[in-house]
Amino acid sequence: MTTIATAPATPSLRAGLELERLGPGFGAIVHGIDLRRPTEVQMEQLRGALVEHKVLFFRGQDLADADQVAFASRLGKPTAGHPVAATAAAHAEIYPIDSTDPEFSFSDEWHTDVTFMQTPPAASVLRAVRLPDTGGDTSWADSQLAYESLSEPVRRLVDGLTAVHDGNREWGAYLRRHGGRGNEWDGRTVTGLTPVEHPVVRVHPVSGRRGLFVNPGFTSHIIGVSDAESRGILDLLYAHLTKPEHTIRHRWAVGDVGVWDNRSTAHYANRDYTQPRVMARVTIRGDRPVGPTT
């Protein structure tokens, strides 16, 4: 199977996509493609564009659940919709994010999807199903640009650090309410959320670029430093990661599909709405993060 982790497309293939850039550093709207029936050439172009632009948007896509899963399967191998949360009945690859669900869990912090697992997903595919009249935008931060714009002494410091990522704060109570049995992830059923360690700086497995790999949603602390030092370092990195010049923002329309590279981004979904907001997410299997000193 061709996966998202293949080498980037050549410049000529990337140039063949009809891209509307959203910023000088990253993000693009892709025009002129029907995600229900992309050609293999288009898929190869998209894989390369995703590594380069990090976040891609597709307007006016009329996808059903099965179409979304089929498209995600062309990018790579879909995971279960979520390690512990309930997934769509007919398509276990889909995680429904429904603000009307009594068990709706909303992370009102910047985060990168599922970094509390040993092998976080490489990419996410999100579809807008139902939207409020106003509000509900999503923002993304470019973790590679953020790393590269740090001063050299700070880059040297964070290159050698390791952080703990813990899903219990967000999902521990949910898992207990559901009998301590989640979904299958990496070939096993999730029955607990043991904190995991990841490098603070992740080397992208395709591009080789370095990016910050910590997020307020799931990173609990840095190993080998005091609590005060950990808080200080993480606060510095979070503030730097989410500077306006490192971010883009997307205003959703029903039928939009967004695809982003979790290995080089973090994101934040605004909870500034009072009407229902329903999204459908599929994540693509990734690999274990590797740092510059690993």
Contact (CB, 8 A) for 68 and 282? yes
Q: Is 113 a catalytic residue?
A: yes
Q: Is 235 a catalytic residue?
A: no
Q: Encoding tokens for residue 233?
A: 């370092």
Burial of 142 (0-12, 13-18, 19+ CB in 10 A): buried
User: Over the range 252-284, which residues count as b (16 or more CB within 10 Å of their CB) and which as e?
Assistant: beeebbbbbbbbbbbbbbeeeeeeebbbbbbbb
Residue 196 main-chain phi, psi, to 5 deg: -120, 160
Give which of 235, 291, 261 is closest to 112, Cα–Cα: 261
Burial of 11 (0-12, 13-18, 19+ CB in 10 A): exposed
- Helices then strands, each counted (H, E), the chain: 7, 17
Of 113, 142, 256, 261, the catalytic one is 113
Q: Is 281 a catalytic residue?
A: yes
Q: Is the dihedral of CA 101, 107, 113, 114 positive or negative?
A: negative
CA atoms of 169 and 45, how far apart (whole Å): 38
Q: What is the DSSP string of 61-112?
A: ----HHHHHHHHHHHS-B--S-SSS---SS-TT-EEEETTSTT-----S-B-
Of 53, 82, 91, 111, the catalytic one is 111
Cα maximum dimension of the chain: 53
Of 14, 246, 267, 277, the catalytic one is 267
CA atoms of 22 and 286, how far apart (whole Å): 26
Q: Is 165 a catalytic residue?
A: no
Catalytic residues: 111, 113, 267, 281
